Structure 1
Amino acid sequence: MLGWYKARLAARPLLTQSITTAVLFATGDITAQQLVETRTPKGDKTADGKDDAPAGHDFMRTGRMALYGGAVFGPAAATWYNILQRHVVLSTPRKTMLARVAADQGIFAPVFIGVFLGSMAVLEGGSPKEKIQKQYVNALTANYMLWPAAQMVNFSVVPLEHRVLFVNLVSIGWNSYLSILNSSK
């Protein structure tokens, strides 16, 4: 499987990273809905025979997450990591890694949390301004609890061509959080 992925990555890197990101963003949403929110497929009964307590699985929500992941985040992250690789190079590997993490968390993360929330609001037919005002600070705060450490690993030991994949794997849990945050009233 890894050999197949590497071949696709070598042949079409941006497309491969975008498709992978779409699939893993959808996986994060499915994880949120099925394991955290314990939704069941529409019309199913719970174990005790009662109707669904939480609403059935929201396939449109999963689709929105996949669309955002594949069309927005995947290409942006791949491009961003290439920019960091080319332009953020300091005197030692440790300084380079720390500078890349600082740039990622000081520029990319704050911008793309806003892009995520705004994009979801537009796709849902809501107000981007309202969603960002309501959820941005919580999302950014949670980001800073996870991503600086993850990006230290990413920028120090993961080869450039696998950085989006690494982030996507870590993002299964993160995207579950974002999906729940985004769908909260």
Structure 2
Amino acid sequence: MGPRGFFKIYQDLLVRRPYFVQAVQTGVLMAAGDVISQSAVEKTPLTSIDVARTLRFSSIGFFVVGPVMRFWYGILAKHIGRTGKTVALKKVFFDQVFFAPCILCVILIAIAVLKGKNVEAVKEELKLNYLDVLITSYTIWPFVQIFNFYFVPLHYQVLLVQTVALFWNTYLSWKTQRKRMLEKIKKLE
């Protein structure tokens, strides 16, 4: 099967099962971001990748981020509109002011909980990472979302965002594991 055949199957599935397709692609891309973080950024050999960590990160994409993003983009399309410059700018405003801070908080909490952290440790992780991650997101996502909401049809918007998010997920994975890496380095000293 060639690329056209694969794309046709993807389009058909996207129309019939949009939430499932968005969940799968988000989970896969979050897993890829975590593997890139471990191998390229943290310099972990591929044979020593923390598979459990990758599965935890991926599950957040599959069960939370993908479906929630698809739902959110549908809400924006329904209540704000689908096309036009003003519509795109309004969507970016609502996305960045309301959705981004909330979804980042949910993701950071989910990462900490899936690592087995208790409530106090989750709060500490949020203090350590949330503001920094949110500020970094504002240097990237408003520009991506302007393009996304203005040029990309609704059913491909999550795919575009998740493609860009491959790099974002790499950063997010690294950022949320940084404290753990520093603790490992101290133990080695």
Question: Same fold judged by TM-score > 0.5?
Answer: yes
| Post-superposition CA distance 1:17-50 (Å, at most 9, x none) | 10111001101111111122221134xxxxxxxx
**What is the one-letter code of the residue matched to 2:27?**
A
Partner of 1:51: none
Unaligned runs of 5+ in 2: 1-5, 180-189
State the secondary structure of the residue aligned to 1:166.
helix
- Pick from 114, 127, 130 the counterpart of residue 133 of structure 1: 127
What is the correspondence of 1:88-167 to structure 2 with a 5 Å cutoff?
A: 88-89=80-81, 93-126=84-117, 127-167=121-161
What is the correspondence of 1:5-154 to structure 2 with a 5 Å cutoff?
A: 5-42=10-47, 56-89=48-81, 93-126=84-117, 127-154=121-148
Q: Sequence identity of aligned pairs in percent?
A: 37
**What is the one-letter code of the residue matched to 1:78?**
R
Aligned length: 171
**What is the one-letter code of the residue matched to 1:110?**
P
State the secondary structure of the residue aligned to 2:46.
coil
**What is the one-letter code of the residue matched to 1:38?**
K
CA distance in 1, matches of 2:81, 2:22: 24
Q: Which runs of 4+ in 1 moved over 2 A?
A: none
Q: Which moved more, 1:6-15 or 1:68-77?
A: 6-15
Unaligned runs of 5+ in 1: 43-55
Deviation for aligned residue 1:89: 3.2
Task: Give the TM-score normalised by the residue count of structure 2.
Answer: 0.87
CA distance in 1, matches of 2:112, 2:40: 24
CA distance in 2, matches of 1:103, 1:178: 22
Task: Give the TM-score normalised by the residue count of structure 1.
Answer: 0.89
CA distance in 2, matches of 1:82, 1:99: 14
State the secondary structure of the residue aligned to 2:81.
coil
CA distance in 2, matches of 1:180, 1:128: 17
- For the aligned residue pairs, the C-alpha RMSD in angstroms reads 1.3
Deviation for aligned residue 1:79: 0.1
**What is the one-letter code of the residue matched to 2:71?**
T
CA distance in 2, matches of 1:41, 1:9: 32
**What is the one-letter code of the residue matched to 1:166?**
L
State the secondary structure of the residue aligned to 1:125.
coil
Q: Which moved more, 1:1-10 or 1:68-77?
A: 1-10
